[in-house]
């Protein structure tokens, strides 16, 4: 799958790209628990999309890393698509 093919509220089998920007990790807490989250941008040859990194992912990756998102999820927030591993996905360096 490529960035230009992403659709909101849809599963992602495989998406590969490069992390082109990475924000600072920050703590969060809500009624479902607490943890750490960081925002990043993932780019491939077709475009760029926001990537949400949860908990240990927020410190595992750096700008310039080539990554592979498997069994992830594409959501939408404030009119922008964003991808993450969701509940069952994985994000690995390639």
**Can you give the CATH number for the domain in which 10 is found?**
2.40.50.140
Q: How far is CA 43 from CA 29, 46, 51, 66, in A?
A: 29, 8, 10, 9
pLDDT tens sequence across 69-91: 999 999 999 999 999 998 899 99
Alpha helices in 3-87 (DSSP H): 57-60
Domain that residue 85 falls in: 3-93
Tell me the whole-structure pTM to 2 decimals: 0.93
Instruction: Count the Cβ atoms, other than its own, within 10 Å of residue 42.
Output: 23
**Euclidean distance between CA atoms 91 and 3, whole angstroms:** 16
Instruction: Report the alpha-carbon distance of residue 14 to residue 74 in Å, rounded.
Output: 11
Domain count across the chain: 1
pLDDT digits (tens, 9 = 90+) for 54-74: 999 999 999 999 999 999 999
- Asked if residue 5 has pLDDT above 90, the reply is yes
4-22 mean pLDDT:
98
């Amino acid at each position: 799958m490529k960035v230009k093919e992403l659709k909101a509220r849809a599963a992602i089998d495989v998406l590969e790209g490069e992390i082109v920007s990475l924000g600072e990790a920050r703590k969060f807490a809500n009624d479902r628990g607490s943890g750490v989250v960081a925002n990043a941008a993932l780019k491939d040859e077709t475009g760029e999309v926001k990537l949400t990194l949860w908990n240990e992912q927020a410190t595992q990756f750096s700008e310039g890393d080539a990554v592979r998102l498997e069994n992830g999820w594409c959501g939408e927030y404030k009119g922008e698509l964003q991808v993450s591993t969701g509940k069952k996905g994985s994000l690995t360096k390639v």
